[in-house]
C-alpha cells in the first residue's frame, strides 16, 4: 500500500438520554487532534484518555461478508463504529507501527480492534462480536503522532513500515486463535509500536500461562456477570 483513497469519514455523536449514539458522515476539511477527530464524542466516551484509540479504521469490503451472513440487516459503512472507511485495505495489508500521512496529520497503527457487546446491542445480534473476532474482520486503531488539518477527500499515504512481519491479521490470529503461543506473545511484548494495553496482556499471559476472560467484553456484564478480562481496543 502506498496511497489509499478514503471511502467515507465518520464521527460519533453521543445521545445523552440513552447513553448510545449515532455516527455522522463528514465531508471536506476536518481537524484531527491528538485524541481524534473534532466532535467525535462517542469515541472519547468509549476510550477515555486512550491515545492509542484515537481513530478506528474498518475495511468497507467486509460488509459484503456481513450482508451475505445476515441478509435481513441493512449493513452500511459505519455499522461497526469506524471513523475511517476504505476499499482495498484489509487487516492483512496493514502492520502495527505503520506510519501514514493524512493531510497535515501523521498516524501510527497502534493495535487491532476487538469488538464488544455494544455492537450486539446496536444490531440485535448477540453472536456478532464473537463472529467478528473469530473471523478477523475487526479493523484497527491509530494513534495520532502529529495533529493537523485533514480532508475526507485526501488519501492515506504510507510513509514508513517498521514491522513488516506484524500485520494486524497476524496479531489478531495470535491474540484470538493462538492466545498462549509463547513465541507470538514474545513478539507482541517486544514491539514498541504495539499499544501498552496489548503488551500488558501479552506479559500477563506469558507470566501466568492463562487466558483472560472475554465473556463480559463479548456479551456484556449484565448478561454474564463473570469477571472480565482487560478490555482493550474494542469497538
List the grid coordinates of 104.
Answer: 497535515
Q: Taking the alpha carbons of 125, 130, 136, 140 in that order, is the dihedral positive or negative?
A: positive
Give the pLDDT of the chain (235 residues) as one tens digit per residue.
589 999 999 998 765 444 456 789 999 999 999 999 998 876 666 666 689 999 999 999 999 999 999 998 888 778 898 999 999 999 999 999 999 999 999 999 999 999 999 888 888 899 999 999 999 999 999 999 999 999 999 999 999 999 999 999 999 999 999 999 999 999 999 999 999 999 999 999 999 999 999 999 999 876 544 434 444 545 4
Cβ neighbours, 10 Å, residue 118: 17
Asked if 43 and 34 touch (Cβ cutoff 8 Å), the reply is no
How many Å is the Cα radius of gyration of the chain?
17
pTM score, whole prediction: 0.89
Distance CA(72)–CA(58), nearest Å, equals 21
Cβ neighbours, 10 Å, residue 222: 8
Asked if 56 and 77 touch (Cβ cutoff 8 Å), the reply is no
For domain 3-219, the CATH superfamily is PK beta-barrel domain-like (2.40.33.20)
Distance CA(90)–CA(167), nearest Å, equals 10
Asked if 41 and 14 touch (Cβ cutoff 8 Å), the reply is yes
Distance CA(151)–CA(233), nearest Å, equals 25
Cβ neighbours, 10 Å, residue 192: 9
Distance CA(15)–CA(41), nearest Å, equals 10
Tell me, what's the pLDDT at 225?
45
Distance CA(137)–CA(91), nearest Å, equals 7
Amino acid at each position: 500500500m502506498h496511497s489509499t483513497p478514503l471511502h467515507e469519514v465518520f464521527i460519533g455523536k453521543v445521545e445523552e438520554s440513552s447513553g448510545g449514539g449515532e455516527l455522522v458522515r463528514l465531508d471536506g476539511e476536518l481537524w484531527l487532534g491528538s485524541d481524534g477527530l473534532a466532535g467525535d464524542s462517542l469515541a472519547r466516551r468509549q476510550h477515555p484518555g486512550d491515545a492509542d484509540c484515537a481513530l478506528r479504521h474498518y475495511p468497507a469490503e467486509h460488509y459484503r461478508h456481513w450482508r451475505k451472513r445476515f441478509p435481513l440487516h441493512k449493513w452500511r459503512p459505519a455499522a461497526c463504529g469506524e471513523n475511517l472507511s476504505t476499499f482495498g485495505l484489509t487487516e492483512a495489508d496493514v502492520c502495527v507501527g505503520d506510519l501514514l500521512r493524512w493531510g497535515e496529520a501523521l498516524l501510527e497503527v497502534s493495535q487491532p480492534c476487538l469488538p464488544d457487546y455494544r455492537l450486539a446491542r446496536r444490531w440485535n445480534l448477540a453472536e456478532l462480536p464473537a463472529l467478528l473476532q473469530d473471523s478477523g474482520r475487526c479493523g484497527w486503531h491509530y494513534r495520532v503522532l502529529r495533529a493537523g488539518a485533514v480532508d475526507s477527500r485526501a488519501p492515506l499515504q504510507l510513509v514508513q513500515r517498521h514491522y513488516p512481519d506484524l500485520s494486524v491479521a497476524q496479531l489478531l490470529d495470535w491474540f484470538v486463535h493462538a492466545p498462549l503461543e509463547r513465541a507470538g506473545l514474545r513478539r507482541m511484548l517486544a514491539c514498541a509500536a504495539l499499544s501498552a494495553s496489548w503488551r500488558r496482556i501479552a506479559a500477563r499471559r506469558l507470566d501466568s500461562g492463562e487466558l483472560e476472560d472475554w465473556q463480559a467484553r463479548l456479551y456484556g456484564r449484565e448478561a454474564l456477570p463473570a469477571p472480565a478480562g482487560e478490555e482493550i481496543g474494542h469497538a
